Copies of this chain bind each other. A is one copy, B any other.
């Protein structure tokens, strides 16, 4: 220990002298449980005996890693963009070639190796705007309001960065749902903004009650300046799909309370439940008439990483800003220019997502078949997850209406909670860590997302292929029963 202290004196940069906001950052989706999972994988490779033969990672929405296949058309176009000599190859269909040519013509020197404009390639932004218009039943979208981003995370952090100001009681507060996706809490910690929690209603399928928004806002106004309201729809980690009525209520609330709306809509194609439908915040906003559509400030986010394509590695995404002050927009454009541009292959992929094969084009039927297969299999897995988990006494799982996650509540015996506390662990971390050690299944404890005090959850993706998912769910079931017995 004394040696360590000596060492610290010598170093310029230590935990004591580093950025204190960075120290407060937490990111459970890649936290200690995932580090331990990677370690266990290495141990298995080295021949260490375990009660299981492989680690199953259901901790992160990483579709391809779980075996989902990419959309053929997307990858054909990307291959041609990378190596344009392939444009002469008969193996590729004409529509794929056309898309590749269009993208390359939008690039400096017709190369995806050139920087793009800071805001993104112009023709891609045009395609995004047209996509948004189609999706929203004709509500106009201006390519100048589209910013391509490095995944949705980049856009969200950039918007939060613009919003953070003031000190002490006038410091910017940002309202986020609890449970939340921990990018939000991490970004707020890094920026030194105030996190303002509003709780989703677990009893009503993780729905959002405006009365709870009102409560949270009133509380927050006593110690900070709440200026923005973040919504994730469909929900992460909670899998709910917001009703149109609820979105209207939220917009009315934001308008009345003067809050900047941030709508994280990266799961917009992931809606499975009967009677549920995705409504974009922008569409609802415009349908509410000019009183709202010309005043409420909104940024909405999308990405290539989720939905039916699951292309996380490309870090593609966009955000659309609505009613943003023109001077602020100029500041935003300046800010993003410092990083030069989002990755161009990700921009190309985003273009394909918003401009996929059309009826009559050679790739159309394959594209539709692949997309449908993935989405209907996800719907099946969503159903399966809810059903099987609800057969376990002590686990209660809301319907997975959308997105890629279940967030079931687990009832933990008092003795387990005590033992976890003695170890300085959150009880659901204790539970998940034990699950990992005994079964090889990697989930994320609910405490990493936030939950009502005294309740415990885990987040599990529905992404393992159906066969594996069934095994996983039955292992979770067995484990939970053993765990309850052990600690009762």
Contacts and interface: CB of A to CB of B under 8 A. Distances in A.
A328 B18 contact: yes
Contacts of A335: 22, 25, 190
B165 A314 contact: no
A399 B339 CA distance: 29
A38 B144 CA distance: 14
Interface in A111-128: 111-118
A83 B72 CA distance: 8
A297 B75 contact: no
A63 B19 CA distance: 36
A113 B162 CA distance: 30
Given A19-B162, A30-B337, A165-B17, A312 B114 contact: yes
Range class of the A interface residue count: 35 or more
Give the one of A78, A153, A325 with max B CB within 10 A: A325
Contacts of A187: 338
Given A79-B83, A340-B151, A297 B162 contact: no
Contacts of A416: none
Contacts of A314: 112-113, 343-345
B14 A115 contact: no
Interface in A54-99: 60, 62-68, 70, 75-76, 78-80, 82-83, 86, 89, 91
Give how many copies assemble into the complex.
Answer: 2
A13 B108 contact: no
A12 interface: yes
B325 A115 contact: no
Given A70-B111, A116-B313, A14 B328 contact: yes
A334 interface: yes
Contacts of A325: 7-8, 11, 13-15
Contact of A18 (B258, B312, B331): B331
Given A82-B78, A113-B313, A325-B7, A22 B118 contact: no
A386 interface: no
A93 to B, nearest CB: 13
A153 B14 contact: no
Given A12-B259, A60-B115, A313 B161 contact: no
Contacts of A271: none
B114 A13 contact: no
A311 interface: yes
Interface string A460-484: 0000000000000000000000000
Give the one of A118, A295, A345 with max B CB within 10 A: A345
A337 B68 CA distance: 23
B344 A22 contact: no
In the A-B complex, the 8 residue pairs with the closest CB atoms: A65-B108, A313-B344, A79-B83, A64-B111, A343-B343, A30-B337, A65-B114, A78-B82
Interface of A: 7-8, 10-15, 17-20, 22-23, 25-27, 30, 38, 60, 62-68, 70, 75-76, 78-80, 82-83, 86, 89, 91, 107-109, 111-118, 150-151, 153-154, 157, 161-165, 182-183, 186-187, 190, 227-228, 258-260, 295, 297, 309-315, 323-325, 327-328, 331, 334-335, 337-346
Given A13-B260, A19-B164, A64-B111, 15 more contacts: A10-B295, A11-B325, A12-B297, A14-B328, A18-B162, A19-B162, A22-B331, A64-B107, A65-B109, A66-B109, A153-B338, A186-B338, A190-B335, A312-B341, A315-B342
12 contacts: A15-B331, A19-B165, A22-B331, A113-B310, A114-B312, A115-B313, A153-B338, A154-B339, A314-B344, A314-B345, A315-B340, A343-B346
